[in-house]
Structure 1
Amino acid sequence: MELRHLRFFVAVAEEGSLTTAAEKRLHTAQPSLSRQMRDLEYEVGTQLFLRSAKGVDLTPAGRAFLDHARLALAQVEAATIAARRAAEPAKASFSLGFLTGQEMDWLSEAMHILRDELPNIDVTVSSQYSPLLADALMRGKLDLAFMRPEPNLPDLAYKVVTTEPLVVVMPSDHRLATRKVIAVQDIAQETFLGMSKTAPVLQAIMADYFERVGLDIHASHEIDNLGMAMSLVASTRGVTLLPAYAQNFLPWSVIARPLAGEPPTIDLVMGYHKANTSPILKLFLSRSNDLIERVRKKLRLTAK
């Protein structure tokens, strides 16, 4: 039995037709394929197909054989990939993480920093809540993350890349929507949507802000992520405070307005483990000031 017999068998089984498998999948003559399948049945020692004018169906033996044929082919493919990787010099790797939604502004510039190194390294990118990014940095799963400065993690180092004001997010037809700026006192009697523990830094900033302005505001619902924020604002007709970058993701049914006075702000940082000795991380950090300035210029142009 040869590998081609298994490949031919799987193609026929999946297509349900010798003719279709021969023409569309295997690019061989149908009589030759039929002969190959008869040879396979002879070697297995039992009938694998029931042939009819409409095509072919698998016998119970054929169905059992199909699972093992697929597994054998998958194992051969895995073995081939492993052999090819072993024959090639190992590439360095660099793992980037992003607070969900921040990729829009920062990913392209991050890759720009690495452009000269890309042929020689494997770069992976992931998107997640900030606490989970911090955990991945601690466990060595990530080299660098654009995230919030999570507290009580002395092994992590942070570099601020931007500081954003919080804005008021509300339904587009809300009674406050016609105003250019919103006084925080005006939202005190509204249904307020707070942050869940997936965003502890933002949660703490909101609490400190409300205490500073002397308002006792309690959340009617808690938000896990940006998508949930937009959905809850639209469905509950509530309001919330979100970092300004959230304005990139507002649907037509939701709008944002700046807060009057001195709004609370939140930092976006580049976080990394102090013990990480990756030369690619060192290179990235050495060029990070240029990255920060390029993104700031883009954001200023977008805001005009």
Structure 2
Amino acid sequence: MELRHLRYFIAVVEEGSLTTAAELRLRTSQPSLSRQIRDLEYQVGAELLSRSVHGVELTAAGKVFLDHARLALAQVDAGVEGARRAARPARKTFALGFQTGLEMNWLPQAMRVLRDELNSIQVTVSSDYSPDLAEALFRGQLDVAFLRVEPAFDLGYAVVDHEPLIVLMPGDHRLTSREAIHPREFIGEIFIGGSNKAKVLRAVTEDYLHHFGLDIKLDHGVDSTTMAMSLVASTRGLALMPAYAKDLLPPSVVWRPLEGEVPTIDLAVGYSKSNTSPILKLFLSRLEELRAPMPEKKN
């Protein structure tokens, strides 16, 4: 079994079609790709994909194999990145990642922590979904990321904040007259929450609703707060999102706190345990400074 077999298999699964994967992604012929998939299934000893006129679908064996195939490729990529990093004489850059929207509050603190090193290093900044940030840390593409604690990745985490969840709603919704919202108000409303990709947010939300004995089904799952705000405005639904969303709201969307004991979602600084960067070591030693308020500017 070769790495190309894994890459071909993943491409077919993600495209949902042998033809599309072959022509648009892998730049090979469909018959050649089909042979590669058959070779892989022969080596595994099980059918991984079921084929029909509508495309391809994972079999039970394929679903199990997919997770392992992705992990194997991620480990290879991490090894390549680690080897390249070790071959460089010195680390001149420090890569920061933020869950989209968190840069506004946490980038200034991060730069304050790095203040003594800014003249000698180049800091790069990017934003993405939390699971994608975790994968980038695992692959060695980021040094530090502000994200959720993603259990699917073996990373180091230091929790720096516990964000309460808040309710987003249209600006003219009937519940805007309330000072705080009880979860039973979600009954009968279009409900927007974390998608399968935003697993941490989804789990916190489900635990919160189950605590009140509420079996409220998700109407729309979203990966980010910006997607949630768009759906709140367009569907007139209610969304449970972390509190940092209130700093990003458009005029058509407002927020209210939850009533009573409010659920929180952890925000953590994540990093790869195998990263030996001295700048990372310095950054982690100053984590308490992240939690300290920014000094006020003098007029």
Q: What secondary structure does 2:255 align onto?
A: strand
The one-letter amino acid paired with 1:205 is V
Counterparts of 1:90 and 1:166, CA distance in 2? 42
The one-letter amino acid paired with 1:195 is G
The one-letter amino acid paired with 1:141 is Q
Contact kept? 2:99, 2:128, Cα under 8 Å: yes
**Which residue is 1:163 aligned to?**
162
**Which residue is 2:94 aligned to?**
94
Q: What secondary structure does 2:271 align onto?
A: strand
**Which residue is 1:248 aligned to?**
247
**Which residue is 1:123 aligned to?**
123
Contact kept? 1:149, 1:201, Cα under 8 Å: yes
**Which residue is 1:232 aligned to?**
231
**Which residue is 1:259 aligned to?**
258
The one-letter amino acid paired with 2:286 is R
Contact kept? 1:196, 1:222, Cα under 8 Å: yes
Counterparts of 1:152 and 1:225, CA distance in 2? 19
Counterparts of 1:294 and 1:288, CA distance in 2? 13
1:152-208 C-alpha deviation (Å, 9 max, x unpaired): 43x311111110110111011101111100111111111111221231100111111
The one-letter amino acid paired with 1:238 is G
Contact kept? 2:193, 2:241, Cα under 8 Å: no
Contact kept? 1:95, 1:141, Cα under 8 Å: yes
Counterparts of 1:170 and 1:137, CA distance in 2? 34
Deviation, 1:288, is: 1.4
Counterparts of 2:232 and 2:142, CA distance in 1? 33
Counterparts of 2:92 and 2:287, CA distance in 1? 20
1:127-148 C-alpha deviation (Å, 9 max, x unpaired): 0000001001111111110000
Counterparts of 1:231 and 1:152, CA distance in 2? 28
**Which residue is 2:292 aligned to?**
293
Contact kept? 1:91, 1:120, Cα under 8 Å: no
Structure 1 regions of 5+ residues with no counterpart? 1-88, 299-304
Counterparts of 1:226 and 1:187, CA distance in 2? 18
Tell me the TM-score normalized by structure 1: 0.66
Counterparts of 1:247 and 1:117, CA distance in 2? 33
Counterparts of 2:230 and 2:152, CA distance in 1? 32
Counterparts of 2:196 and 2:127, CA distance in 1? 17
**Which structure is larger by alpha-carbon Rg, 1 or 2?**
1
Q: What secondary structure does 2:160 align onto?
A: strand
Counterparts of 1:120 and 1:134, CA distance in 2? 27
**Which residue is 2:111 aligned to?**
111
4+ runs deviating over 2 angstroms: none
Deviation, 1:90, is: 6.0
1:96-125 C-alpha deviation (Å, 9 max, x unpaired): 100000000010111122122112112111
Output aligned runs, 1:5-24, within 5 Å.
Answer: none
The count of corresponding residues between Structure 1 and Structure 2 is 208
Counterparts of 1:269 and 1:222, CA distance in 2? 23
The one-letter amino acid paired with 1:127 is S
**Which residue is 1:9 aligned to?**
none
The one-letter amino acid paired with 2:242 is P
Q: What secondary structure does 1:294 align onto?
A: coil
The one-letter amino acid paired with 2:231 is L
Contact kept? 1:188, 1:217, Cα under 8 Å: yes
Contact kept? 2:109, 2:289, Cα under 8 Å: no
Counterparts of 1:204 and 1:147, CA distance in 2? 15
**Which residue is 1:183 aligned to?**
182
Q: What secondary structure does 2:292 align onto?
A: helix
Structure 2 regions of 5+ residues with no counterpart? 1-88
Contact kept? 2:91, 2:277, Cα under 8 Å: no
Tell me the TM-score normalized by structure 2: 0.67
**Which residue is 2:149 aligned to?**
149
